[in-house]
Amino acid sequence: MDTKEMIKINQLNKSFGDLHVLKGIDMTVYESDVVCLIGASGSGKSTLLRCLNFLEKKDNGDIIIKGKEVDPSTDNLNKIREKVGMVFQHFNLFPHKTVLENIIEAPIMVKGVAKEEAISKAKQLLSKVGLEDKLDVYPNKLSGGQKQRVAIARALAMEPEIMLFDEPTSALDPELVGEVLTTMKELADEGMTMVIVTHEMDFAKEVADWIVYMHDGKIVERGNPEQFFSNPKEERTQEFLKTTILK
């Protein structure tokens, strides 16, 4: 199949002071791919994701978004971020704004979308994530799962072409994980390009096109879920999977 390269990174390096966190990452994400990034705590998953959104500044290496190399010193990063949505572990909803206001904020202020249009789009997105009745509620009145679904709707309101998720269910009570994963799966089924850092192995197995395993700032192994989980090539991966409970 002839698919478009949405993200391509070459030899990406990133350090925090003396701490070398990303050690020459190469990765390609094609259109409509769902990539699950897994790995032990501190292996650099979040840092990699944040580099893709330029929330973190790379030290060196290339980041190519939709065939265009991004140069943070000259390119308008805000324009690129519009195309790359991000969902955080701790939701980061705007607590002083209602659910609706959270969602229409960026489309109106950044894209200049008319208010009525932004509102009708927001309503559409809210019913998509099953929260059409929460329009005028403030985030503090929502459960964790609802917050995360609003956060997903908020990111989608910018009509991104790529969605990044950093442990979107890690801060949730176990019984609320499912509703968020369902929303993400629907998104995947619609063909959204997604890069997901997750510890939900069952979800990864079911939804991912590719699993990428990171260890100590490097990509150790990548493969499709079937091969990756049942027949990992690298010893490191085998060890990691042993410590990870698969139901």
Contacts of 87 (CB under 8 A, 6+ apart): 148, 151, 152, 155, 163, 164, 165, 166, 168
Nearest of 236, 241, 216, 233 to residue 48 by alpha carbon: 216
Instruction: Please state whether beta strands 60-65 and 5-16 pair in parallel, antiparallel, or not at all (unpaired).
Output: antiparallel
> Which pair of tokens denotes residue 88?
């955080």
Task: Find the part of the chain contacting ligand ATP (CB under 6 A) among 45-53, 77-85, 133-141, 231-239.
Answer: 45-53
Q: Counting contacts by CB under 6 A, is residue 21 touching ligand ATP?
A: yes
Q: Which is nearer to Mg ion, 46 or 146 (CB)?
A: 46
Candidate residues 27, 43, 106, 225; the one interacting with ligand ATP per rule CB under 6 A = 43
The count of residues in the chain is: 247
Toward other proteins, which CB reaches closer, 27 or 155?
Answer: 155
| Residue placing its CB nearer to other proteins in the complex, 148 or 237 | 148
Closest approach, Cβ 99 to ligand ATP, in A, equals 27
Nearest-approach distance from CB 150 to other proteins, in angstroms: 12
| Least spacing, CB of residue 37 vs ligand ATP, in Å | 8
Q: Return the number of other C-beta atoms located less than 10 Å from residue 191's C-beta.
A: 11
Part in contact with ligand ATP (CB under 6 A); list of ranges 15-23, 25-33, 101-109, 122-130: 15-23
As given in the structure block, the two tokens for residue 230 are 């049942």
Applying CB under 5 A, among 43, 46, 102, 237 the residue interacting with Mg ion is: 46
Size of the residue set binding ligand ATP (CB under 6 A): 11
List the alpha helices (DSSP H) in the chain. 45-52, 77-83, 99-109, 115-128, 144-156, 174-189, 201-207, 225-230, 235-243
Residues that bind ligand ATP (CB under 6 A): 16, 19, 21, 39, 41-47
